[in-house]
Structure 1
Amino acid sequence: MDWTRIAPIILLITLIAPTASASKIDSLVLEKLSEPLAWQYSPQSLTQVPVIIEFREDLGFPGLKNSINVQGVSKERELGIVDAISGKLDSRAIVALENNPLIKRVHYDRTYYLDPFEDDGNQTQYTPDLQTSIGQIGATNPTFNGGSINGSGVIVAVIDTGIQTDHPDLSANLNLSASYDFFDDDSDPTDGHGHGTQTAGVVAARGGINGTAPGATIMALKVFSSAGSGATTSMIIRAIDHAIDNGAHVLSLSLGATPIPHNKDNIMAKTVEAASKNAVVVVSSGNNGDEIGDTGTPGTSAGAITVGAVDSSNSIASFSSNGPTSDGRIKPDIMAPGVLINTTTLSSGYIRNSGTSFSAPFVSGVAALVKHAHPTWTPEQIRRAILSNTDNISGDPHQIGNGLLNASAAINNLVSVDKTFLQFLDTSSINVTLTNNMSETRAYAVSFSNLTTSQTIDSGNISLDNSSFSLTANTSRDIQVNVTVPNGVDSGIYDGYMYINSNNTIKVPIVLRITTTTSTIACMTNYCFSDGDYCTSRTANPGDWQFYRINVTQQYDSIQFNVSWTGSHDIDFFVYDPLKNLQSATTSSTTSPETITITDVLQGEYIIEVHPYTLASVPVTANINISYNSNSNVSTNVSWIDFGYVHKGNTSSIVSVNFTNTGAGDLTLTPSATAATE
């Protein structure tokens, strides 16, 4: 059946107002309060809420932790890697923290979970599945320059439910003195659940079965209870702090939480990015299924190697979570086996499980192998080696990232690129540096796939200065990749690949975000198509993204963005400033309206992204209101018929725009609008 989307209007509005001084209007209450914490906050309640208080980096952290002495705040722990403390907070402390110049942000100390995984029952040590999976990723007895590589001398911190300390396949590789239980706050990391023992086995078991890096050292850091619950952000950050302080080269995290799209509110993403300067950080993408944009936190962090799952035939596992992130980045980064993985478990036994929890440890193990082969390499060099040298499998970039993990290629193919994906956000060119660390000259040929979403941009629209060239040993070359967007293309997120072909093929995902004045909808998946005229019920991420552009040429005191609708729908929206930084976001359940206020207003083009997270019915009418505050005030109302699928030949769009100047000065508006149906 042939379907299309109703196309809304996009407005490119230039605002020109006289210069005038004016007092700022009140911003949203509690500007320093992260949105997840704001959801928990009730000014009438004195119930203490677990929080993480983040300090300003420019003031120097060591002396600040003692400066927080506010009624209603109880301090608990220092979190050095992100200049923060954890504690509890009640409503009496809100205003004091809001006015404290030392405080950057107050975050909710949220709870993380183990992704649900499929337990196929206890196995014998002779079940060969783990060895089969290790062969699938090219990690069977790897070598480099004629020497055996097994991860010897490399420390892998497994941040999980702990470990069976006397398991015969794990005890020899366990550094018990460096291990710790952050849930119970003691030095005994004994696993009462099993998940940590299982993931550790995939990394570095040695005995009845062998893990990916059987010579690596395991540092077991317990953050979950024996029931597999209760891990908090602060516990995980403390574990990461401990791992870095005790010399871990690789951090392996098979855990997650609902993604937080707003970087200011994602203290875990900041932690991972800070840790990635000192160690390779590997995170599972999650088991949320095949919807768009459902990779969990901390898998959304730019500093993590985020891992999805494939089966033994290299097909994407049905449970493996997809990207992209809310700001258009590719996630997961790479794929590894995650279906029916045989590994160690409690009672000195073995078990076969499925889930991305068991995919991430394969990458952690390969990171240990690469570090063993190249002990002087930095975490970033190891990351590039792993992501630049993968095997091709079927799937879109937001499903599979760079492709299937290949340990042998990561160890031996000393060619890499400095970017693990190319993200075109309203830019037409990106520079990529290709480095040949081989001892010989290599010839390269660069090609591109088509870029696709609901439409296709032909690969002929992607070019570079020279598609064929050679690199001598230990040299680098800059490649400028240029994209030309053809006329008539819908706005949205398009993805594809750049291929750098030599003895091995380097595959680099490409993400292109288009905003135009003719159409704003990108239907990124057709999951909801059925045999009716509409998808009458949506219970998971629809995956549609819309983009609006507002060009601000005057310095306003504040801008307020408001999205409203009728019905039990969950619609999120995000605002990017002219520097392409995510300024703010709303992800509040089904509450309408949702509002964002920006007080540090930059001149230039703002991008508004709208994302229907869940819809009770379709079509849905939503409204954007944009208010600017200065001596002259203008409010803009933009309405569109949204989220409805109709047959071709019966498309329509209904748009109304109202402008009101309530200020004392004159205001000149130059609106441009085009309605389009497809």
Structure 2
Amino acid sequence: MKKGFSLVLIGVLVLSFYVPVAAPEGEMVSLIFEGNDKVAMRNVIEGAGGIVTIEYESVNMLAAQVPLATLGIVLASPHITEVFKDEMRYLPYPPRADGEDSDIFEAREVMDISGSVMDAYTLEELGDLPDNYYNYMVTGAQEVWGETGAGSGQLVAIIDTGVYPLHPCLYPRVIGGISFAPGEPEDSWGDADNHYHGTVCAGIVASNCAVLLPETDLWAIAIMNYAPPESWFTDPAYPGYIIVPLLGMAPLAEIYAIKVFPKDGSGVPSSVVMEGLDHAIQQRKLYNCTGGAEGLPIDVISMSLGGGTGFDGWDPEDRLVDKATLTGIVVSAAAGNDGPALNTVSTPGCAKTSIGVGAAADPVHTRVGMDIVYGIPGIGGDMFPYDDQQIIYFSSRGPTTDCRRKPDVLACGVYAMSAYPPNSIAIMSGTSSACPAVSGAALLLAAWQKTNQGFAKPSEIRNAIIQGAVPLPNYDKYAQGEGYLNVPNALQKLKDGVCWWPDMGYGRCLRGTNLRGGSKTWSTGPLGPGETYDIVIKVDKDTARIDICLSNVTYLNPGNQNPWLGDSIEFYVQSSVRTAYSYYYDSVNIYEDDCFSITDPDPGKIRIVVEGDWTNWDEMLCDVTVTETEGRQLCPIEASGCINNGEWKEHYIDVSPGTAVVIFELWWFNDWSKYPTHDLDMYVFDPNGYAYLDGAQYYSPERQIIENPVPGTYTILIFGYEMYLIPNPYWLRVCEIV
């Protein structure tokens, strides 16, 4: 099970400060500080022996390492108003699949094209090309290339793993870059051995090349089998080959690479992602202020990355996205691969002014990709026999906790074909693939607006893309926002005039059913492939158990099933954790009636999803009965108080001799059932000074269970690690089991 949050070693480091005898000197903790005076903040931090690692120019924030021994002095400064966890940010995990097919969505290098690539197309040549199955075709982008110059003169900043500038589908349009990846030089942004992710995303935005494929190649066979006849062509000069154009959404646009992730693609603290975002904003501001003499005319920022947050729309990264919008930049961000449960869109996809992008499957990409993945010609047609687009199950869903529409739009997120470093092409799935498609669309609209209205207006471009999207049938706004990206529609909206104020999409909040110790049954009705039925259950501290039974599981046409996998219902239960992956049950295949139980669930809204498997051939349905058992046995309250952001509380608990198990639980008011959700951490030290860390996660309540505990006095440290707006009451509960 993947964790949605990480502590960046903070939990381990913080402990040292509170060991009663000998706290190791020199230990440092990394945090993001916000205040009213950056100079004064720096003086306070450095005066306490700390090191400011990043000073942001676009917001009054600093990232810093502070000695544990003097952290209290820093937090007490009147110049520091907020302190934030330096959360880890990741490339969206490869979409999940089960069993023998667990790797079907891993990015795959298809072939090295260094010996078979053809020259880039000019704008005139683009107009003469046949229709093509590639990503731009699904959105209609090619219909507006004439009016938008195919993105010529526009610049996208890709905040990612770097972009290989010499890739034959990108050269020479990668104009430069910079690296902020920890431990790597600034010029590593274009290294050939960087993780592939950034180059793939760049290709989806702006690839411009064509590939000669032998007619006997598996990829060529799949294209000829599934794509419309006009989507590939032959040339008498190359007998035995087909020519496949590999074109991004804006094939004449330019690319600026901002590398924030290391070469292995592992996660980095949010402070580093913010540094890349801040750099893009400042480059655009410098360009604006100097009339183009300095800086960079960045039109769009593409961010196929993300992480969890307890304050959707208001955490530091989301607020920096809003600064970018105000500076004149459209920000497109991946919604995340943590679906299909509701309320799972991550930051910065949940930022107020970003375009949060979800993922969908279309017939041609999916069928071609399936043939490549399984290595079996024709299997793609069996796996995806229908002609409609489908929201893929892993795409994160909305709404945000403050009732905004997210994702905003959908784009192709299943087997998108793109550049792969150094000289190959690959298929990649996930909202990582969908995000740059929308980034390319934004470049096209920016080009038209500059040419026809003098300058690009990010909020209008964002609104036009959202309002021009085409809704998919049988899905609500929680899953698709306004629908699938349609570039001609978006351009027409821009021509007709759209509101300059950002369309936030405020609407219906996520509500749940309070069973109050009872039971309720829902009937899903017929569920086609990829269609979902959602149930939200409110859980409180009295809930001892939730039982979920799926009954009357019915195949509406038992004789019409997927010949490779059969048909099934997919079953999911997401915990109360929001904006991130935290499933009790994930993608369980249901073929017949079955029951599931959850003991002592965390308070909040549990989201149950019943889905027709995305590869089903026909409809299925079932009844879902959820029963709540109340009477949770809570440990008695041994201590309580009220805590502020950055504040520490210390309590002492005696554990009796002969105790077999002791359980420490930290409860607080703004748990996952509230918005915003606060993060309190609990550190437990036994009488010998041994530290227990299980209570320093991102759960609510936090819990530490110790078997065969050493008898004596335990020190319990409670830290108001990340709290928003108000202090919080808390309760320390302790159980001793003899």
Structure-2 change in CA distance of 1:420 and 1:71 (3 Å): closer
Residue 570 of structure 1, CA deviation: 11
Q: 1:574 aligns with which of 662, 665, 670?
A: 670
Query: Which of 62, 82, 85 in structure 2 is aligned with 1:85?
Result: 62
Structure 1 residue 402 corresponds to structure 2 residue 514: no
> Which has the larger displacement, 242-251 or 588-597?
588-597
Q: Distance in 2 between matches of 1:204 and 1:161?
A: 17
Cα offset, 1:253, TM superposition: 0.9
Confirm whether residue 119 of structure 1 aligns to residue 107 of structure 2: yes
Match 1:273 to one of 309, 322, 331: 322
Alignment TM-score, normalising by the size of structure 1: 0.60
Among 438, 448, 459, which residue is 1:363 paired with?
Answer: 438
State the SS of the aligned residue for 2:358.
strand
Cα distance change, pair 49–171 in 1 and its aligned pair in 2 (3 A): farther
- Superposed, 1:406-555 pairs within 5 Å as 406-413=486-493, 414-416=496-498, 418=501, 419-423=503-507, 527-528=572-573, 531-532=593-594, 534-535=596-597, 542-543=606-607
**Aligned counterpart for 1:378 among listed residues 449, 454, 457:** 457
Q: Does 1:137 align with 2:139?
A: yes
Q: In the alignment, is the contact (CA less than 8 A) between 1:162 and 1:220 conserved in 2?
A: yes
Contact 2:107 2:428 in 1 (8 A): yes
Residue 41 (1) aligns with residue 90 (2):
no
Match of 1:262 among 292, 307, 311: 311
How has the CA–CA distance of structure 1 residues 253 and 591 changed in structure 2, closer, same or farther, with 3 Å as cutoff?
same
- Work out whether residues 181 and 223 of structure 1, in 8 Å CA contact, stay in contact via their aligned partners in 2: yes
CA-to-partner distance for each residue in 1:349-370, whole Å, 9 max, x for gaps?
1111211111100010011111
Instruction: Say if 1:153 and 1:216, in contact at 8 Å, map to a contact too.
Output: yes
Q: Given that residues 72 and 91 in structure 1 are in contact (C-alpha distance below 8 angstroms), is that contact kept between their aligned partners in structure 2?
A: no
Q: For the structure 1 residues 40 and 293, does the alpha-carbon distance in structure 2 shift closer, same or farther, using more than 3 Å as the test?
A: farther
Q: CA separation in 1, counterparts of 2:169 and 2:61? A: 38
Does the 8 Å contact 1:203/1:212 carry over to 2? yes
Q: What is the Cα deviation at residue 166 of structure 1?
A: 1.0
Partner secondary structure for residue 488 of structure 2: helix
Counterpart position of 2:633: none
Tell me what 1:110 maps to.
Answer: 87
1-structure distance, mates of 2:485, 2:600: 34
Q: Deviations over 1:568-599 (max 9, x none)?
A: 9999973799xx97374564266249998999
- Who is 1:291 aligned against? 341
Q: 2-side partners of 1:179 and 1:243: how far apart?
A: 10
Q: Tell me by how many angstroms 1:223 deviates.
A: 1.0
Partner residue, 1:239: 276
1:396 partner amino acid = D
Distance 1:77 1:596 in 2: 23
The Cα shift of 1:250 comes to: 0.8
Q: Distance in 2 between matches of 1:600 and 1:330?
A: 24
Contact 1:181/1:188 (8 A) holds in 2: no
Corresponding letter in the other structure for 2:360: V
Q: Which amino acid in the other structure matches residue 543 of structure 1?
A: R
**Contact preservation (8 Å) 1:54, 1:82:** no
Taking a change above 3 Å as real, the CA distance of residues 148 and 97 of structure 1, as seen in their structure-2 partners, is closer
Higher mean C-alpha deviation, range 134-143 or range 191-200: 134-143
Per the normalisation by structure 2, the TM-score is 0.55
Give yes or no for contact 2:205–2:440 (8 Å, CA) kept in 1.
yes
Structure 1 residues 364 and 39 mapped into 2: Cα distance closer, same or farther (>3 Å)? farther
Task: Specify whether residues 328 and 265 from structure 1 end up closer, same or farther in structure 2 by C-alpha distance, changes over 3 A only.
Answer: closer
In the aligned structure 2, how far is the partner of 1:303 from the partner of 1:386? 13
Moved more, 70-79 or 38-47: 38-47
Q: Partner of 1:136: helix, strand, or coil? A: helix
Q: Deviations over 1:38-85 (max 9, x none)?
A: 6863233547455243232xx343564344323342222212222222
Listed as ranges, the matches of 1:316-335 within 5 Å are: 316-335=391-410
Query: Residue 65 of structure 1 aligns with which residue?
Result: 42
Please state how far the C-alpha of 1:133 moved relative to its aligned partner: 2.2
Distance 1:263 1:185, change over 3 A: farther
Contact 1:163 1:220 in 2 (8 A): yes
Q: Distance between the aligned counterparts of 2:429 and 2:32, measured in 1?
A: 37
Structure 1 contact 570–588 (Cα < 8 Å) conserved: no
Shifted more, 64-73 versus 355-364: the winner is: 64-73
Closer/same/farther in 2, CA of residues 246 and 591 from structure 1, 3 Å limit = same
Aligned residue for 1:297, secondary structure, equals: coil
Conservation of the 8 A alpha-carbon contact between 1:291 and 1:542: no
Q: Which of these residues, 214, 225, 241, is aligned with residue 262 of structure 2? A: 225
Other structure's SS at 1:422 match:
coil
Partner deviation per Cα, 1:110-137 (whole Å, 9 max, x = no partner): 3322223322431467899984321111
How far, CA to CA, are the matches of 1:159 and 1:532 in structure 2?
44
Unaligned runs of 5+ in 2: 1-6, 95-105, 119-129, 211-245, 285-297, 364-388, 515-519, 521-535, 549-569, 574-587, 610-627, 629-640, 645-661, 681-697, 705-717, 734-738
Aligned residue type for 2:202? A
Q: Distance in 2 between matches of 1:269 and 1:224?
A: 19
- Counterpart amino acid of 1:574? N
Residue identity opposite 2:316 in structure 1: I
Kept in 1, the 8 Å contact 2:33–2:64? The answer is no
CA distance in 2, matches of 1:292, 1:237: 27
Partner AA of 2:449 in structure 1: H
SS of the residue 2:52 aligns to: strand
Q: Secondary structure at the match of 1:172?
A: coil
2: CA distance between counterparts of 1:372 and 1:323?
Answer: 31
SS at match of 1:226: coil
Structure 2 vs 1, CA of residues 283 and 265 (structure 1 numbering), >3 Å: closer, same or farther? Answer: closer
Please tell me whether the aligned partners of residues 152 and 252 of structure 2 are also in contact (alpha carbons under 8 angstroms): yes
Q: 1:601 to 1:574 in 2, by over 3 A?
A: closer
The structure whose RCO (Cα within 8 Å, separation 6+) is larger is 1
Contact 2:8 2:86 in 1 (8 A): no
Classify 1:452/1:391 alpha carbon distance in 2 versus 1 (closer, same or farther; 3 Å): farther
Q: Distance in 2 between matches of 1:526 and 1:293?
A: 17
Q: What is the alpha-carbon distance in structure 2 between the residues aligned to residue 284 and residue 358 of structure 1?
A: 8
Post-superposition shift, 1:249?
A: 1.5
Can you list the C-alpha shifts for 1:438-479, whole angstroms capped at 9, x where unaligned?
Answer: xxxxxxxxxxxxx99779xxxxxxxxxxxxxxxxxxxxxxxx
From the superposition, tell whether residues 69 and 452 of structure 1 become closer, same or farther in structure 2 (CA, over 3 Å).
Answer: closer
- Deviation, structure 1 residue 233: 1.6
Alpha carbon RMSD of aligned pairs, Å?
4.8
Q: Which amino acid in 1 is paired with 2:207?
A: A
> 2:180, 2:275 within 8 Å by CA — same for their partners in 1?
no
Contact 1:324 1:330 survives alignment (8 Å): yes
TM-fit CA distance, 1:276: 2.4
Q: Is the 1:341–1:358 Cα contact (8 Å) retained in structure 2?
A: yes
Match of 1:165 in 2: 165
CA contact (8 A) 1:141 1:148 kept: no
1:195 match: 197
Deviation at 1:532, TM superposition (A): 4.2
Structure 1 CA distance for aligned equivalents of residues 667 and 726 of structure 2? 24
Give yes or no for the alignment of 1:588 onto 2:694. no
Q: In 2, are the aligned partners of 1:50 and 1:108 still within 8 Å (CA)? A: no
Take 1:255 and 1:527, find their aligned partners in 2: how far apart are those partners?
Answer: 24
